[in-house]
Amino acid sequence: MQWETVIGLEIHTQLATQSKIFSGSSTAFGNPPNTQASLIDLGMPGVLPVLNREAVRMAVRFGKAIGAHVAERSVFARKNYFYPDLPKGYQISQYELPVVGRGQVEIVLDDGVTKTVGVTRAHLEEDAGKSLHEDFHGMTGIDLNRAGTPLLEIVSEPDMRSAKEAVAYAKKIHQVVTYIGICDGNMQEGSFRMDANVSVRPKGQAEFGTRAELKNINSFRFLEKAINFEVERQIELIEDGGTVVQETRLYDSDKDETRSMRTKEEANDYRYFPDPDLLPLEIDAAFIADVVAAMPELPDARRARFQEQYGLSTYDADVLTASRALADYYEAAAAEGGDAKLVANWVMGELAAALNRDGVDIGDSPVAAAALGQLVGRIRDNTISGKIAKDVFAAMWAGEGDADAVIEAKGLKQITDTGAIEALVDAVLAANAEQVENYRNADPDKRPKMLGFFVGQIMKKSQGKANPQQVNELLRKRLDT
């Protein structure tokens, strides 16, 4: 039997506001427990929520970034359930009328084919607190600092057909939310959390199979592994005559498996109803226009512009626009360096390798964009060769100063004085009379390869500083005439 996988994702993105969605508490990460839990976040008797404008603006920004309809009127509802990290006994969310309606994003698959994935909706809600299971004499500790942090829950259509597609979609959403500055995208800190709805069906069957919901996945790698494990599990189960039950499963990254979360006796009954403490959220055209006017350039548009403006290949443009920080870096370096393609090679080559090797974020690169641009400028103006530039870069990375300082300190300035190069050429030719003889007698086809020998000798003699182009020209003049 041929099986087809069907995947939909629900992604919770923490919005990068200063204060919480319904209270004036800070949303900062990592402070001592319950020091950012106000009366409202604690669900004290008598407290009331007031909605944060910036959270709404961010939700609208996302909606407009994915071409979605932004609801003129949306409603906050209460999702009722008991859990210690949920102080009020309900989560304020949006149910029937979300702020962002249907939209879509495009993902590029491994074979280069573009696929459109539908976004069903995105709605605003509040985050819960955290349960700490360290040992408090067999008790669990509750920290409500995170309670009330604004979330935008982005729900996709069940449009993905493989773990790879799901990862491509998740990365795309990650790219969009970080590009438009509504989420810091920090997965370790839980700013971007994924749930995957996974089912399988015989190829050709129209109806969906029964799905399992994989909860709280916080890396793209785990997303891929969790889905793959779950797909295998479901197929094996069905092929062994079993049936998939609709349930919530947890991915255990240590064991690389998914396991059922204790099925509670009662099915979840969240008893949603409109929150009477909040009024309908009305968003008018002026509000939307204001958000759109402040919208940063979106990744797809930027990629197209990079190809157009800088003459980059699709691949290069893709890589360089993968994150807003990288694209910003590249543009700043290109502006300084002058040769956009050469700068692109440096960013994707030497810089990317160094970042990767040392595990450094582009934002923390010890070689700033302008400094890299200056280095490329020194290649362009023949101050140094490309080869020497790599040594200069290494020195810059090590904190030895900018390109000019390193070149100066190490005496790496290229020899471009014709007289000096002539002297080098003549010395090398004199010392290798036999090879000169061979060259002159050789078939013209074989000569270019033989020329390399002399170039190598001259470069060695100049400690790499002779301008290779001039060396080549002079050599030919001497040998071919």
Partner 1 sequence: MSLSPEEVAKIAHLARLAVTDDDKVALGRDLSNILDLVAQMDAVDTAGVAPMAHPLEMAQRLRDDRVTEGDRRDRYQAHSPAVERGLFLVPKVIE
Partner 2 sequence: MHDKTIAELSTALHAREVSSAELTRLMLQRIKTLDPALNSFVTLTEDQAIAQATAADARIAAGDAGPLTGVPIAHKDIFCTRDVRTSCGSRMLENFIAPYDATVVGRLEQAGAVMLGKTNMDEFAMGSSNETSYYGPVRNPWDTATVPGGSSGGSAAAVAARLCAAATGTDTGGSIRQPAALTGITGLKPTYGRCSRWGMIAFASSLDQAGPMTRSAEDAAIMLTAMAGFDERDSTCAQRPVDDYVGALRASIRGLRIGIVREFMGDGLDAGVAAAIEQALNEYKALGAELVEISLPNAGLSVPAYYVVAPAECSSNLARFDGVRYGHRCDDPKDLEDLYKRSRSEGFGAEVKRRIMIGTYALSAGYYDAYYLKAQKVRQLIADDFRRAFDQCDVIAGPTAPGTAFRIGDKADDPVSMYLQDIYTIAVNLAGLPGMSIPAPHSGGMPVGLQLIGNYFDEARLLNVAHQLQLATDWHQQVPAEFA
- Segment near partner 2 (CB under 8 A); pick from 274-282, 388-396, 397-405, 416-424: 274-282
Is 348 a binder of partner 2 (CB under 8 A)?
no
Query: Smallest gap, in angstroms, from Cβ of residue 139 to partner 1?
Result: 4
Give the footprint of partner 1 on this chain (CB under 8 A): 17-19, 23-26, 32-39, 42, 44, 50-56, 75-76, 82, 84, 131-133, 136, 138-144, 250, 261-262, 266, 269, 271, 274, 276, 278-282
Query: Smallest gap, in angstroms, from Cβ of residue 86 to partner 2?
Result: 9
Are 451 and 472 within 8 A, CB to CB? Answer: yes
Residue 46 binds which one of partner 2, partner 1, none, with CB within 5 to 8 A depending on kind? partner 2
In 3-state terms, what secondary structure has residue 447? Answer: helix
Q: Which one among 18, 31, 39, 358 touches partner 2, defined by CB under 8 A?
A: 39
Nearer to partner 1, 36 or 385 (CB): 36
Query: Smallest gap, in angstroms, from Cβ of residue 277 to partner 1?
Result: 10
Nearer to partner 1, 23 or 156 (CB): 23
Query: Smallest gap, in angstroms, from Cβ of residue 250 to partner 2?
Result: 18
The Cα–Cα gap between 257 and 234 comes to: 12
The Cα–Cα gap between 377 and 85 comes to: 56
The Cα–Cα gap between 428 and 84 comes to: 82
Are 73 and 280 within 8 A, CB to CB? Answer: yes
In 3-state terms, what secondary structure has residue 225? Answer: helix
Residue 67 binds which one of partner 2, partner 1, none, with CB within 5 to 8 A depending on kind? none
Is 45 a binder of partner 2 (CB under 8 A)?
yes
What mask, x for binding partner 2 by CB under 8 A, covers residues 138 to 177?
Answer: ----x-----------------------------------
- What is the distance in angstroms between the CA of the first residue and the CA of the last residue of the chain? 74
As beta bridge partners, residue 249 has 214, 260
**Region 65-94 residues binding partner 2, contact defined as CB under 8 A:** 78, 80, 82, 84, 87-90
CA 205 from chain center: how many Å? Answer: 35
Is 50 a binder of partner 2 (CB under 8 A)?
yes
* Opening angle at CA 275, ends 272 and 277, nearest 5: 160
- 108: phi then psi, degrees, rounded to nearest 5: -105, 125
Are 151 and 15 within 8 A, CB to CB? Answer: yes
The Cα–Cα gap between 389 and 163 comes to: 41
Taking residue 227's Cβ as centre, other Cβ atoms within 10 Å add up to 26
Is 280 a binder of partner 2 (CB under 8 A)?
no
Is 277 a binder of partner 2 (CB under 8 A)?
yes
Is 271 a binder of partner 2 (CB under 8 A)?
yes
**Beta strands 212-217 and 247-252, pairing class:** parallel
Which residues of the shown chain bind partner 2 in the complex (CB under 8 A)?
A: 39, 42-51, 78, 80, 82, 84, 87-90, 142, 267, 269, 271-273, 276-279
